[in-house]
């Protein structure tokens, strides 16, 4: 069991070629474009959830920030659907890869920072030096604020990677323990199986919450720079 502990996090290959691009594109199938006058229940629920989430996320933004609405909604749908698909048996979760999460976090963070320096130059520069700072502390605070600014995309990516990876590892460990205990003690195996079911339900919630948190933090970075 220890040898296969991290096997689910290895990028899958087919005929020697990585198929992660196909896996990343697969969630788009779950959100088809409606082409009927009256939609079915599934598409109606999807549209209602998207509208509800977009209202909550864009209420703090001005007109310039609301131009990012399509980007933010696409981001939360992609991360949420990818996390949920990764909970299926024998599946691969791309959001457990730090490289993918950095590939999402760095361009989005850079876009918000560039937007801030372009449209709110004075306010963006003011973040590096809080008002009323004593003169001897000015160089140190500028360095600290600069470091904290560049740590933001790393924090976004590491938070998502750590939470999703930890959940998959717990499910793998408890599932292996349940199988091992079935031949030793059936009551104990039933207890661990119930824990496994509860943990799986929790992971469904974590998959959606982490998608919302990632997108919300990007939205807050955008709000600070628009």
* pLDDT tens digits, one per residue of 164-209: 888 888 888 888 888 888 888 888 888 888 988 898 899 899 998 9
The rounded mean pLDDT for the chain is 81
Please tell me the predicted confidence (pLDDT) of residue 107. 92
Asked if 141 contacts 131 with a C-beta cutoff of 8 angstroms, the reply is no
Tokens of 55: 């209202």
Q: How many CB atoms lie within 10 A of CB 16?
A: 5
Domain edges within the chain: 7-225
Tens digit of each residue's pLDDT (9 = 90 or more) over 117-159: 888 887 777 777 777 777 787 788 888 888 888 898 999 999 9
HSE, CB side, 13 Å, CA atoms: give it for residue 129: 13
Backbone phi and psi for residue 38, each to the nearest 5 degrees, phi listed first: -120, 120
Distance in angstroms between the alpha carbons of the first and the last residue of the chain: 50
Please tell me the predicted confidence (pLDDT) of residue 106. 92
| pLDDT bracket for residue 22 (50, 70, 90) | low
Please tell me the predicted confidence (pLDDT) of residue 6. 60
Tell me: pLDDT of 27 over 80. Answer: no
- Which of 181, 172, 177, 39 lies closest to 96 in space, CA to CA? 172
Q: What is the enclosing helix (H) or strand (E) of 66?
A: none
What does pTM read for this prediction? 0.79
Tokens of 63: 């007109």
Please tell me the predicted confidence (pLDDT) of residue 1. 44
């Amino acid at each position: 069991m220890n040898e296969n502990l991290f096997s689910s996090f290895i990028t899958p290959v087919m005929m020697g070629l990585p198929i992660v691009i196909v896996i990343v594109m697969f969630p788009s199938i779950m959100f088809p474009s409606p082409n009927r006058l009256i939609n079915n229940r599934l598409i109606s629920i999807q549209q209602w959830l998207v509208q509800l989430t977009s209202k909550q996320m864009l209420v703090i933004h001005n007109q310039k920030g609301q131009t990012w609405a399509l980007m933010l909604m696409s981001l939360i749908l992609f991360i949420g659907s990818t996390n949920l698909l990764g909970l299926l048996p024998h599946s691969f979760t791309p959001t457990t890869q730090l490289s993918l999460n950095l590939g999402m976090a760095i361009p989005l963070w850079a876009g918000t920072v560039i937007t801030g320096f372009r449209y709110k130059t004075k306010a963006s520069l003011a973040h590096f030096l809080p008002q009323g700072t004593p003169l001897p502390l000015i160089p140190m605070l500028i360095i600290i604020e600069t470091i904290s600014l560049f740590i933001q995309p790393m924090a976004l990516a590491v938070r998502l990677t750590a939470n999703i990876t930890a959940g998959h590892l717990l499910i793998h460990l408890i599932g292996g323990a349940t199988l091992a205990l079935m031949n030793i003690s059936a009551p104990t195996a039933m207890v661990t199986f119930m824990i496994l079911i509860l943990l799986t339900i929790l992971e469904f919630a974590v998959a959606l919450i982490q998608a919302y948190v990632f997108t919300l933090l990007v939205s807050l970075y955008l709000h600070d720079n628009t």
